[in-house]
Amino acid sequence: MINKQQILEGSRAIALTIKNIRPAVVSAYPITPQTHIVEDLAMFKSNKEADYEYVRAESEFAAASIVAGAAATGVRTYTATSSQGLLLMAEVMYNIAGMRLPVVLTCANRAVSAPINIWNDQQDAMAVRDAGWIMLFAENLQETVEQHVLAFKIAEKLMIPVMLNVDGFVLTHSYEPVIIPDEKTIKKFLPPYKPAKGTYLDPANPVTLGAFASPAHYMEIREELHRDILSTKKILNDEHLNYKKTFQISNFQFPISNKMSNPQFQNGLIEYYGPANPEIILVAMGSVIGTIKDAVDELNTVKHFKLHKPVGVLKIKCFRPFPGEEIIKILSRAKNIAVLDKSISLGQMGPLAMDIKSIAQGRLKQKILSYIVGLGGRDITKQMVKKIIGETAKEKSGGAVFVGKM
């Protein structure tokens, strides 16, 4: 039976979900703001509430290596980190993807140094976007819970690692109503992991993982991983619907209607929120979506509707693989488009904006504006969002614009 709704800290909700998923090995090194997740997992083990092997490593590099080694033996594994810890894992992350190990990692997103900053943005995730992992971003705690269960299903089904991005402090340390599926219900959707022969180290069936590859083979191996990651889009959508059915959660995968501001379309990759025929669409990932929706709701009320252009919100739930076709279908409805990134590709613009501009080339006539918000934990307010909407309507900006400077 699914647990009743509870008010939980985000990190606690994640840890309880992982406990009910029952990995065989958990290894991590504490780093703010990820620490509460792994503290709770360690406590569950200490209190004999969980039977996984819990290994506190001497560094994030070691933690990633431990879960890689465990996954290579054919068992379910989990780790978590943030910021500089994720960067320290980077070398091993490429190896995990290249060896097709189904590791699941939670990144409590945090700014990277220097200067030292412990607050939230998404620059850490962007630093490893090309490592070969599926990358999901959550708006709220209930979506975070769903994405963690989905992550193990996808990773183990496709033998591709999955990284869950949860905004540090904003989600990890705040309290929200959330339902944690119990172990029995999760097991219906996510059965015990039984890897196929030849995908893990077994003395009775010797295999090599991460072998030496010459120029005659390396390129084809990377192309295979690339194509397999692209193929996960359909499976993510299918499993998203299966999740909704298993956990008896209503879904919103239907055509856009004429309602003003409700989730009009949602699948495992994206969610569109707003009017059927918006003049402006704002695009973003993660917890900032909540603030954007609130600002848009205020502008789209009957009182303000005649004074302002109708505005929609496109939430990107899956950043890798990049859901280009799905994004184009939604953005084609708008006259003006603005992308809000909580990260910056220094010397260029926001990474999400770059990707959207890339897939829009020759397909969309609209100008796509890049706004950088919330770096280093800077507050993102409804007033800032409304300012961006106003500038977008006038197509005021060119390159990346930093919004919210002191």
Sign of CA dihedral 128, 37, 179, 295: negative
pLDDT at 224 exceeding the cut of 60: yes
pLDDT band of 4, cuts 50, 70, 90: confident
pLDDT computed for residue 396 by the predictor:
65
Preceding omega of 115 cis (within 30 degrees of 0): yes
Please list the residue range(s) of the chain that carry CATH number 3.40.50.970: 6-246
Distance separating alpha carbons of residues 163 and 230, to the nearest angstrom: 15
pLDDT tens by residue, 240-283: 999 999 988 654 443 343 344 455 688 999 999 999 889 999 99
Distance separating alpha carbons of residues 225 and 21, to the nearest angstrom: 26
Mean pLDDT of 173-202: 95
- Higher-pLDDT residue of 259 and 326 is 326
pLDDT tens by residue, 76-132: 999 999 999 999 999 999 999 999 999 999 999 999 999 999 999 999 999 999 999
Mean pLDDT of 222-239: 96
Does domain 6-246 correspond to CATH entry 3.40.50.970?
yes
pLDDT computed for residue 209 by the predictor:
93
In the sheet with 311-316, reading across from the earlier edge strand, the strands are 263-266, 270-273, 311-316, 280-284, 336-341, 368-372, 401-402
* Contact predicate 200/192, CB 8 Å: no
Tokens of residue 78, six digits: 């989990």
Task: Tell me the one-letter amino acid at 283.
Answer: V
Tokens of residue 353, six digits: 């904006």
Q: Is 336 left (phi over 0), alpha (psi -120 to 50) or beta?
A: beta
| Stated pTM of the model | 0.94
Please list the residue range(s) of the chain that carry CATH number 3.40.50.920: 263-402
Mean pLDDT of 337-366: 96
* Contact predicate 299/273, CB 8 Å: no
Q: How large is the angle between the packed helices 10-21 and 141-158, nearest 10 degrees?
A: 30
CATH assignment of 263-402?
3.40.50.920
pLDDT computed for residue 297 by the predictor:
92
Distance separating alpha carbons of residues 289 and 139, to the nearest angstrom: 6
pLDDT computed for residue 254 by the predictor:
38
- Higher-pLDDT residue of 257 and 288 is 288
